[in-house]
Structure 1
Amino acid sequence: MKTANEIVSKLKEHQASSPSKWRENAEWRMANKSWLRYSQHIAMKMLDKMDELGMTQKRLSELMGCSQQYVSKILKGQENLSLETLAKIERCLQISILGNLAK
């Protein structure tokens, strides 16, 4: 049976050279929970419509006038979207995000 010092030594051998950002990421998610929920909902709505239309991220980025990388960030559901971006998404995918606010 290994001693506690041997176990700790073995664990340190496999320790990452850079500190984990787990706590920092968890704290960020908690601090931004309210708008992240909306962002994730929008991303799911977009993915459903893109699937229905057979549309790629590249094509959507062309229609929106932005980079494919930005569309990818939006579809991860962790992007704090501007009203301008929301309007572009609605127009390009023919979906309603803002609902009755646009009327």
Structure 2
Amino acid sequence: MAEEQIDMVLTPDLEITENNSEKWMYQSQAIAATMSNRMEKLGMTQRALAEKMNCTQQYVSKVLKGRENLSLETLCKIENALGIKILQAGINK
């Protein structure tokens, strides 16, 4: 079921991808699906994720809806909290 969610999110909606100003939303939805799947595997609640990210549960809920334009700082917090890689530009630390 979770894989079906990802497939639906990763299949571009023509209306979204045709509008250049909203291409970020496609990426946001893919990140939200990845987060949701990882949280499910970890048995993590939105509240627990919010605590790890030092933000509100309401913000986590908005992010998981896939309609937030995420900052680099937020992406790094998500990566650290869930132990996943989202940003993969090949930059070595």
TM-score, normalization by structure 2? 0.75
| Structure index of larger Rg | 1
Structure 2: segments with no counterpart, 5+ residues: 1-14
Distance 1:72 1:66 in 2: 11
Query: Percent same amino acid among aligned pairs?
Result: 53
Written as runs of structure 1 = structure 2, the 5 A alignment for 1:8-87 is 30=19, 32-87=21-76
DSSP-derived class of the 2:63 partner: helix
Q: Which amino acid aligns with 2:76?
A: A
Q: Residue 3 of structure 1 corresponds to which residue in structure 2?
A: none
Structure 1: segments with no counterpart, 5+ residues: 1-25
Q: CA deviation at 1:59?
A: 0.2
Q: Which amino acid aligns with 1:68?
A: Q
**Aligned-CA RMSD value:** 2.1
Deviation per CA, 1:9-61: give whole Å up to 9, x if none. Answer: xxxxxxxxxxxxxxxxx9xxx46420000000000000000000000000000
Deviating beyond 4 angstroms after TM superposition, the runs of 4 or more aligned structure 1 residues are: none
Q: For residues 66 and 78 of structure 1, do their structure 2 counterparts lie closer, same or farther at Cα, with a shift above 3 Å needed?
A: same
Q: Which amino acid aligns with 1:72?
A: S
Q: For residues 74 and 102 of structure 1, do their structure 2 counterparts lie closer, same or farther at Cα, with a shift above 3 Å needed?
A: farther
* Counterpart pick for 2:81 among 80, 89, 92: 92
TM-score, normalization by structure 1? 0.68
